[in-house]
A and B are shown apart, each in its own frame.
Chain A
Amino acid sequence: MSSTEAPETGQHADAHDAHPTPREYVHIAVVLAVLTALEVSTYFVDFGALAIPMLIVLMAIKFLYVAGWFMHLKFDSPVFKRLMGTGLSFALVLYAVVALVTLFDHAPSV
């Protein structure tokens, strides 16, 4: 059995206690639902220039909640956090640069 399941055999019982309870999971889900409602509201209500920054922040919060709580990143080994962080940051940086370069190439070129 994996060490993550070892708690059942009583080896790292305290580590397991840190895991959330179903009640907490439901709380998180309610928060996520409210955030989604906020997101959708931007379609019906005009937030002006605020709308896009707000949507990005809401997206990031939802992302972190699901990853942190449902995927247990908050409670699990930091190795997993690093693996995900590396992939995510590579993706963000590389594609941002591609987008930037592609925007530049619309300017007159040599």
Chain B
Amino acid sequence: MSTSTAERTGYTGRPSRRDGFVGWITTTDHKKIGIMYLVTTLVFFTLGGLESGFIRWQLAQAEQTVLTEEVYNQFFTMHGITMVFLVVMPMSAAFFNYLIPLMIGARDVAFPRLNAFSYWVYLFGGLFLYSSFLLGGAPNGSWVGYVPLSTDAVSNMNFYAVGINFLGISSLAAAVNFIVTILNMRAPGMTFMRLPVFIWMALVTNFLLLFALPIIAVALFMLNIDAVFGGQFFEPATGGDPILYQHLFWLFGHPEVYIMVLPAMGIISEILPVGARKPLFGYAAVVFAGAAIGFIGFGVWAHHMFTSAIGPVARSAFALTTMFIAVPTGIKIFNWVFTMWGGKLRFTTPMLFSIGFISMFTIGGLSGVTHAIVPHNAQQHDTYYVVAHFHYVLFGGALFGLIAGIYYWFPKVTGKLMSEKLGKVHFWTWLLGFNLTFGPMHLSGLLGQPRRTAVLPEELGGTVELYNLLSSIGYLVLFGSALVFLYNLIRSLRSGEASGDDPWDARTLEWLTPSPTPHENFHTIPTVTHRDEFWHRKYAEDEAGKAIRVPAGAAEDHDAEASHDEHIHMPDPSYWPLVQTLGFFPLGYGLAFGTFWLIGLGVVWLVIGTYGWIIEPVAEGDDDDPGELTPTSTGATAGAASH
């Protein structure tokens, strides 16, 4: 094996260190970028969690004023933005980054530098949003940013419009990257129907991002132009239509729900078969249902707008489509249950979180179906019932699935196991705290408690106050539980038990390579002959269809002596993604404050960064130097990835 480190010649230098601080900030390795994504999301998760802590503190009793209305509004807005755009979406991206190449048998993503670009834009977009606290106050017009409130300077939503657009650029670049990777970099024999379900869900999610993000980009540009540059898009006084903003927002916003939950569905579709020691029940149905959810997900947006002026025809039509979308979701839930049915269940922590996902997500899904009923919806709209519903979907659903993924793939990344004992403490307190926090909200909402209201009004009565107190106690349980999780992460990272290469007796390709994953992922790119390839390399079936373990060593790649591919070219590190994306800061502040010289500076910076990127020397063997290729390797670089 020779990982090429030949001299690069060109207009600018190119870093070659892969370790240390410089190695991290210049990395183009999908594994390192995935880890950086995850660590960053945990930091933002802490911030978003603390914000919600203040919300629960304020609402623990009626008529409390721990926070002023102004600060309260900033906190619930930033809590929503943080959890949606800075935690759940990028945490999914962390898994995409780390796992997509490993699960399809590739050495990296299609565009490694673009991948680094995505991460830096995400980080800087998040920092940009949080810098608003120091620059006149954070956005306070809620995460949906409805006009005309959000075009008013009092709401500080200029930071929202610009910041979310940056995060959108990050996700769009990542979506193109992952789609090309999944379509075009599969190992030999890895047909579509052999793809792990997680990869399928990643593909659907990234297509959703690809088609939904441009819509929100337009809505946010218009919002930005209205708020800062005197545009009239949503100004009713001159004939603008605020409902148009709602349409554009939810055209993105509803697919966004599936963008957040499909990756978690993919994760548990990997964990359940491993935990049940049985193939996934109805693979094709799960895949089809996932694609159907993605497709129908574009056709239900107006159910968020049943109380807006959309007319009775639209209400009826969207009520129907909303009920339809419960069908593919239901199919999946049945498939997961039947995967466990009759299996030899091992209740490991990832498995517990996966089962938690199924049960909590089902509750959230069912309360979601109630929103499809228009008269019912009108009663629930903007109450805590809705808050309860989407927390069951996004916390009980997406986040449970993502945490299951962290426990499950932690050994893959670190070569160490997380503590099962602490993991179980984490799971049960998490489940308890979650239900204690969000369960009572169903009831307080139905009793009329409005959301986005800084003070809990006393006139709602003692029952609602009790429910709110329970929610706030639930928050404390969750807080403690999160500390257990954090302690478990750090302790396991330092002194976790060695996991070996295949701690879960897993089924998919990523466990074929040693843990932690070597730099080049696979010494030899595997050839795939089955769905659940790794399982089939370990087990054969006897006449009765029972799995028999194949003698050790048959799983060839575990053998360090196995032959290695020669001339593995891994992408070089690069300064440019980091240097270029710093230009988003001047651009962002320029757009947020209407300062033209800052916008100009940002644009020039980004353009110069692009040139640095283009003329940066690339690896030997890359297509930029086709003349240097030996005749035998010409074919090998056909369709070579861009550096």
User: Which residues of A are interface residues toward B (Cβ below 8 A)?
Assistant: 1-3, 6, 9, 79, 86-87, 90, 94, 98, 100-102, 104-105, 107, 109-110
Contacts and interface: CB of A to CB of B under 8 A. Distances in A.
Contacts, number: 52
Given A98-B247, A102-B247, A109 B311 contact: yes
Contacts of B623: 1-2
How many chain B residues sit at the interface, stated as a range, is 20 to 34
Interface string B296-332: 0010001000000111111100000000000000000
Given A1-B623, A1-B637, A9-B634, A101 B211 contact: no
B310 A104 contact: yes
Interface of B: 183, 211, 215, 241, 243-244, 247-248, 251, 298, 302, 309-315, 623, 626, 634, 637-640
B638 A102 contact: no
Given A101-B311, A102-B241, A102-B243, A2 B639 contact: yes
Contacts of B309: 105, 109
B639 A101 contact: no
Q: Which of A6, A87, A94, A101 has the most CB of B within 10 A?
A: A101
B637 A101 contact: no
Given A1-B626, A2-B623, A101 B310 contact: yes
B578 to A, nearest CB: 28
A94 B251 contact: yes
A80 B313 CA distance: 36
A7 to B, nearest CB: 12
A88 to B, nearest CB: 11
B518 to A, nearest CB: 28
26 contacts: A1-B626, A1-B637, A1-B640, A2-B638, A3-B638, A6-B638, A86-B211, A90-B211, A94-B215, A98-B247, A98-B251, A100-B314, A101-B247, A101-B302, A101-B310, A101-B314, A102-B241, A102-B243, A102-B244, A102-B247, A104-B313, A105-B243, A105-B314, A109-B309, A110-B312, A110-B315
Contacts of A107: 311
A54 B484 CA distance: 68
A1 B243 CA distance: 50
Given A2-B623, A90-B211, A94-B298, A105 B637 contact: no
A104 B243 CA distance: 12
Which label, helix, strand, loop or mixed, suits the secondary structure of the A interface? Answer: helix
Given A2-B623, A9-B634, A109-B309, 19 more contacts: A1-B634, A1-B638, A1-B640, A2-B639, A3-B639, A86-B211, A94-B215, A98-B248, A101-B314, A102-B241, A104-B310, A104-B313, A104-B314, A105-B243, A105-B309, A105-B311, A109-B310, A109-B311, A110-B312
A27 to B, nearest CB: 32
A37 B243 CA distance: 39
Nearest to B248: A98
A109 B306 CA distance: 11
The 5 closest A-B pairs by CB, nearest first: A104-B311, A105-B309, A101-B314, A109-B309, A98-B247
Nearest to B215: A94
Contacts of B315: 110
Given A1-B626, A6-B638, A90 B310 contact: no
Contacts of B243: 102, 105
Nearest to B243: A105
B316 to A, nearest CB: 11
A10 to B, nearest CB: 11
Contacts of B248: 98
Contacts of B211: 86-87, 90
Contacts of B312: 109-110
A101 B302 CA distance: 9
Contacts of B247: 98, 101-102
A98 B298 CA distance: 12
A9 B634 CA distance: 10
Contacts of B244: 98, 102
Nearest to B251: A94
A104 B311 CA distance: 6
A98 B183 CA distance: 32
Contacts of A102: 241, 243-244, 247
Nearest to A6: B638
Nearest to A103: B311
A14 B315 CA distance: 55
A9 B626 CA distance: 12
Contacts of B302: 101
A107 B314 CA distance: 12
Contacts of B298: 90, 94
A88 B124 CA distance: 32
A105 B310 contact: yes
A13 B633 CA distance: 20
A19 to B, nearest CB: 19
B309 to A, nearest CB: 4
A14 B469 CA distance: 75
Contacts of B637: 1
Contacts of A9: 634
Contacts of B310: 101, 104-105, 109
Q: Which of A2, A98, A109 has the most CB of B within 10 A?
A: A98
A2 B624 CA distance: 11
B125 to A, nearest CB: 24
A86 B309 CA distance: 30
A87 B310 CA distance: 25
Contacts of A94: 215, 251, 298
Nearest to B378: A110
A94 B310 CA distance: 15
B322 to A, nearest CB: 14
Contacts of B215: 94
B431 to A, nearest CB: 38
Contacts of A109: 309-312
Contacts of B634: 1, 9
A5 to B, nearest CB: 9
Nearest to A104: B311
Nearest to B183: A79
Contacts of A79: 183
A101 B639 CA distance: 45
Nearest to B374: A110
